[in-house]
Structure 1
Amino acid sequence: MVEHSAHPLVDIVIPVHSTSRPLARAVASAWLAARGAAPGQCRVTVVAHHLTGDQVREMLPPEHRAAVHVLECEDRGTTAAVPRNEALRRTTARYVSFLDSDDTLDPGAVTRWIGIAEHRGSDLVMPFQHHENDRVDITPITRPFRSARLDPVRDRLAYRSTAFGLVRVSAVRAFGIEFDESVVTGEDQSFVMRLYSVAGRIDYAVGGPGLQMGADATDRVSREARTVREVLAAPLKLGKQTWFTDESQSFRTACILKYIRVNFFPAVEEMARSGSWDSTCAQDAAAAFSQLLEVAGRGKEQLSRADCRAARLLARGAEQNELLGALEARRRFATPAALLTEDPRWVLARQAPLRIAAASAAQMVRYRLALAARRTRL
């Protein structure tokens, strides 16, 4: 394997903070993901965070050490925000492709994304994501058969809030977009949402090859137990940023509804089941919910009846078992309470649960077909 290129077209950036991470697997997959690319087009950059460069190289097989570009960054912060920002500041590539050290890229994935971006002029190429375990990932919940020129509102991009795929560096630098180093989880939220709002073109590399999310990491920050406010720190901070409050109501509504459904209610349920739920927790959660709604435009009207009932119980400090019952009810997605809005005028709104459910069903079919095609190729 040759020495790494000093001026690649793509930097495949892998932050690593612990010698327990399966870095060698991630690096090997990155080289395979660049299979078919022209010589020197792709560089694998490992950013050492709370590790030295020598420690990182010792984690790699000898044949990869000279070919991998290793950066050391400051030992501050506990999330991947610091090494990702360092990579963005120092890269000489046209594009970056972020990869977590416990995830892997499918063979030919980056080469495919380069083809899409170079041909279409994409600022962001979103990848097909699949998982080692049985988890299904149907995001983004796009319009039927849509994969080109995605719209952040109409294609509900907020439901895919991770910075994977291929990102044009000039688009990031033009607007000073960075990962949030001040939050303990969700550091990519402001980066991704800002990129959605300013990107000239967003495309989706539907089907494989794509990105496989690992299931064997034991120290993911996002898996640690958190209070409701800690889980929501990133979106609550996002809601106070000028660029976000200046965005269209439809954009703000789409983003905040995602946070309420995917982050807020699950965090409340997890906390309520933890054994440490009390009136203080309830008041804090209710306050966070109100803060989200303040910047959501017409968000409340597009929540399901079941969501609204759970929110009312939370606001009045309902007994724990009653609250848990309401939170369980909102997850029965095929029931009228989970599909319909309280005001019938909002039932068919784009961000309302009925249309989300219909689009999700279509994406499920698309996902299953893509996964079957990937397994056929392997």
Structure 2
Amino acid sequence: MMEKENMYAYMLHNIPGWGNKTLNKVLEEFIKCSDIVGATENDFKNLITVKQYKSFDKVRKTWDPEAEYEYLYRRGIDFYPIFSKGYPSKLKTIPDPPFGLYCIGRLPDENRPSVSIIGARNSSEYGKYAAKLFGEKLALSDVQIISGMARGIDGISQQAAIYAGGDTYGVLGSGVDVCYPEENRGLYESLMTRGGIISEYLPGTQPKPQFFPPRNRIISGLSDAVLVIEAREKSGTLITVDMALEQGREVFAVPGRICDSLSYGCNSLIRQGAAIASGPEDIAHYLRRNICPGRMPENKDEEKGGGIIIATGTIMEKLSNKQQRIYEELDFYPQTSTAIYEKIIGKGIEMTVSEAMNSLVELCIIGAAAQNGTGFYKIM
């Protein structure tokens, strides 16, 4: 019986002109999708417009519910209407819950904590580092990472979670069978087995600007907390924050330098009362205390009492003594080789210019540092 209701819900979701609010309103009145499918124009009373009824009647006469639903299943796409058993309970309580969700892979496990990591698409090296750190360390603490699979902070944090062996879920502003952005194709394919790809939009729907703000309510709605890593003062990321607050979710922000435009949004959130995320342990402690006490394992890799800048133990272990000395003087912002060398000499460390330059080049080769037109900076 439930499978039949899901099948009819999928048909209703395909009616042109029937948006999320209309579908939920009609379902609330009729209770069952099978009753909606068999309703007359008079049965709808003042629920829908004449145009919407004509659209419904046309689909009803031409649609083969069983064949269409079977075709969806054969494509590896699952459909979860709001009344189905698998539909996330967290979403049922948010304002304007999606009538249905499409998924490739699986939906988040409701018995495990989830955190959404969001931020700037054109992130700095500092932001990229933070995204990798939080994505990896939270995944190691058995936290599921929810994000939008966007370029920048979103995709980096999700990829880091996958590398750490964790689970992560991408909520798209397109159909689940449409990879956007294309540059994250590798991440998209990984999500099929290391989590899931989720959307409220019909399969085949191409991404449009107006689709992304609504999908953000799903990102925050599936999460127990929202973490912001880099955001400009007027940023689309802050739309998700507003939705998270409306949904009663805890908001964390990674602080940044006061002179960096990419940090204005985070610093402003902190000023307004958002919790400071000085390291992954801040969020892990919140989840253990407030969301899943006694059910979340301790992560032995968590740094004690520290923030982002001390989470480099595994990197330092792989470096030679000279490389370590140089790496310690690097920042996420470019410095000239002369400035770095002067810092080394200023600390009384014996090292020639040639040795310093060789170490800088070696750090770039192994991927711990990088160089641009203005100097060298760390990337791990």
Q: Rg: which structure is higher?
A: 2
Same fold (TM over 0.5): no
**Bigger relative contact order, structure 1 or 2, given CA contacts below 8 A and separation 6+?**
1
* TM-score normalised per structure 1: 0.26
* TM-score normalised per structure 2: 0.26
